[in-house]
Amino acid sequence: MALYSSETCLESHRVRFVLAEKGINVEIVNVSADESAAADLAELNPYNQTPTLVDRDLLLYDAGVIND
């Protein structure tokens, strides 16, 4: 499971807190520091925004949905 996150995105931090509180291990992909991650995000998310959660075939890109 991978979470595309940004250091400056409040929603990304909120999702990271919820995932940590639930004890879910996730790989954090920092989009702002890695240009290849930004290109990957553009292919995954039609809005090209963080946070985006990828788990095999499941793709979620709304913070409220990810937290639920």
Q: What is the per-residue pLDDT for 32?
A: 79
Contact 12, 28 (CB under 8 A): no
Q: What is the per-residue pLDDT for 5?
A: 92
Q: What is the per-residue pLDDT for 37?
A: 83
On the 0-12 / 13-18 / 19+ scale of CB atoms within 10 A, 58 is: exposed
pTM: 0.87
- In whole angstroms, what is the distance from residue 56 CA to residue 32 CA? 23
| Neighbour tally for 62: CB within 10 Å | 16
In tens, the pLDDT along 2-55 reads 999 998 899 999 999 999 999 999 999 998 767 788 888 889 988 888 999 999
Q: What is the per-residue pLDDT for 33?
A: 66
